[in-house]
Amino acid sequence: MTATLYLTRTGLLEPLGQSQVMAYLRGLCAGQEITLVTFEKPADLADRGAVAAARAECVAHGIRWRPLRFRRGPKFLAPALGMAQMLWIALAERRAGRAALIHARSYVPAAVALAAHRLTGAPFIFDMRALWPEELITAGRLSRGGAVHRVLTWLERRCLSRAAAVVSLTRAAVPELERRAPGLDPARVHVIPTCADLDRFAPAVRAEGEPRVFGCAGTVLSGWFRADLLDQVFAALARRDPAARFEVLTRDDPEAVRAALPSLAGEPDRLTVFARRPEDMPEALGRHTASIIVYAGGAPSELGRSPTRLAEILGCGVPVIANAGVGDMAEIIERHRVGVVLNGTGRAEIGAAADALGALLADPGLPARCRAAAKAEFSLATGTAAYAAIYAQILGQGPPGAETGIAAQ
C-alpha cells in the first residue's frame, strides 16, 4: 500500500472541505494510506459534533486527519507559522514512510511541498485551484510587481517546474501556464475541473405554483466575485417577475451581503441571505429556479477558475446565468444549452440575459439537460479516477501519459 500526504489550507469542516477534499479522498483512499493536513477555523472547531463526525468519517476510510488551527493574523506571521507547522508534519510523515507522494492543494501547500521535495526528494502534485496571485490582484489585495507579488510568481514558476504533476482546473489556463513556466512539459499538465458528488446533488421535486427563486451560492464578498453585477442581475429578474424571491446561500456576513445588494433594499422580504451546512446544500440548491455565477470575467485571474457551484447547481437540474471570460464556463454552458452567458455588464446586456433565461425556463427538457451536462463535465467518479491515475503514474504503478493528460481531456 502506498502512502500519500494531502496538504490543504481548506478546512475539512468547511463546505469546500467536504465537496472538494473529502469527496475525492473517499475514492482515493482505496489502496492508499492517506494523511490529511487541513487548517480549521476556530468557529468550526467549536462545533464538537461536526469535529467528531469528521474524525469518525476519516477513521472509517482509513484517513489520518491532522487538523491545524487557522489564524487570520498577524498578517505575515500567521501564514508563515502555518507553513512551518505544515512543513514540520510533512517532514515527519516522510521520515515515517507515510509520504511517498505529496498532494498539495493550492499555492501555500505547494510551497510547503516544494520545500519538502528539496529536503527529502518527495515528489509532489501542484493542484493549482486557479491562478491565486492573479486572484489577489483582482481582489485588490496585492499589487502587481510589488515584493509579495514577485515572491508569489517566483514560487509559482518553481512549483510548475519542479512538480511531478500540475493540475489545472481549466483548459483555458494551460497556455498561460506554459507562458509563465517556459519549457513546462505538457505531459505533466492535467486538466481536472472541480467535480461534484452527483449522487448527492440531484434534481429536487418542486411544488407547482410556488414563486420562482433565483439564487446564488458561495461567497460573494471575496473581491473577485462581482457582487455589483449579481445585484444588477437580481434587479433585472425582479423587474420581470414581481413574485420572484431571491436567495444567497453563503457563510459571508448576511448584513454585509445585503449591503452589497442594494437593489432589493426596498423589498427586504424578497431577499434571504443564510448559511447551510454542507449536508443541506443539495436540498437548498434544488429549490432554485436558476442560479447566478458572476466573477471578474476576462481578467487573468479568471482563466483558471472552475466554480464548484457550477457543478453542484447543474447536478441539481438548475440552469445558470454566468458571465463570459471565466475559465471554460461559457463554453460549457453554451455547448450544453444549460443557461445564459452574460456578454456585457450594461443594462441592455443584463436585460437581454434575463429575457433569454425566461425563454429558456419554458423548455421542459432543461432540468434533464442540466443534469446530463453535470454528468458529462463534472462527475466525481471521473475526477477521482483522473487523480488516481496521476498518483499511479508518479508512483510508477501506471503507464506514462495516463488518461489525465491535456490531450485526453
Alpha-carbon distance values, 163 to 52, 157, 391 (Å): 34, 10, 13
- Split at pLDDT 50, 70, 90, the class of 319 is very high
Domains and CATH numbers, the chain: 2-193+380-408 (3.40.50.2000), 213-377 (3.40.50.2000)
- Split at pLDDT 50, 70, 90, the class of 290 is very high
pLDDT more than 90, % of the chain: 84
Long-range contacts from 105-108, C-beta under 8 angstroms, 24+ separation: 105/6, 105/7, 105/8, 105/9, 105/10, 105/21, 105/129, 106/8, 106/9, 106/10, 106/132, 107/132, 107/133, 107/152, 107/155, 107/156, 107/159, 108/9, 108/79, 108/82, 108/83
Q: What is the pTM of this model?
A: 0.87
pLDDT digits (tens, 9 = 90+) for 217-240: 999 998 889 999 999 999 999 999
Please list the alpha-helical segments (H only) found in 132-182: 132-138, 147-162, 174-180
Q: What is the DSSP letter of 201?
A: S
Measure the CA–CA gap between 405 and 30, rounded to whole angstroms. 22
Which SS3 state, helix, strand or coil, does residue 289 take? coil
pLDDT digits (tens, 9 = 90+) for 96-128: 999 999 999 999 999 999 999 999 999 999 999
CB distance 278 to 50 below 8 Å: no
Measure the CA–CA gap between 303 and 295, rounded to whole angstroms. 11
Cα-based angle 230, 326, 299 (whole degrees, multiple of 5): 90
Which amino acid, one-letter code, is at 118?
Answer: R
Crossing angle of helices 329-336 and 366-378, rounded to 10°: 130
Measure the CA–CA gap between 7 and 213, rounded to whole angstroms. 38
Alpha-carbon distance values, 358 to 116, 181, 211, 362, 381 (Å): 53, 44, 14, 7, 33
Measure the CA–CA gap between 231 and 263, rounded to whole angstroms. 6
Long-range contacts from 183-191, C-beta under 8 angstroms, 24+ separation: 184/160, 186/405, 186/406, 187/400, 187/401, 187/405, 188/163, 188/164, 189/165, 189/405, 189/406, 190/165, 190/166, 190/386, 190/390, 190/404, 190/405, 190/406, 190/409, 191/167, 191/404, 191/406, 191/409
How does 198-221 read in b/e, with b if 16+ C-beta sit within 10 Å?
Answer: bebbeebeeeeeeebbbbbbbbbe
Residues for the chain: how many in total? 409
pLDDT digits (tens, 9 = 90+) for 238-274: 999 999 999 999 999 999 999 999 999 888 899 999 9
Cα-based angle 312, 318, 322 (whole degrees, multiple of 5): 80
From first CA to last CA, the distance across the chain in angstroms is 29
CB distance 264 to 235 below 8 Å: yes
Segment 22-46 mean pLDDT: 94
pLDDT digits (tens, 9 = 90+) for 48-77: 999 999 999 999 999 999 999 999 888 778
pLDDT at 398: 57
Alpha-carbon distance values, 79 to 39, 69, 109, 398 (Å): 11, 11, 11, 36
Maximum alpha-carbon separation in the chain:
64
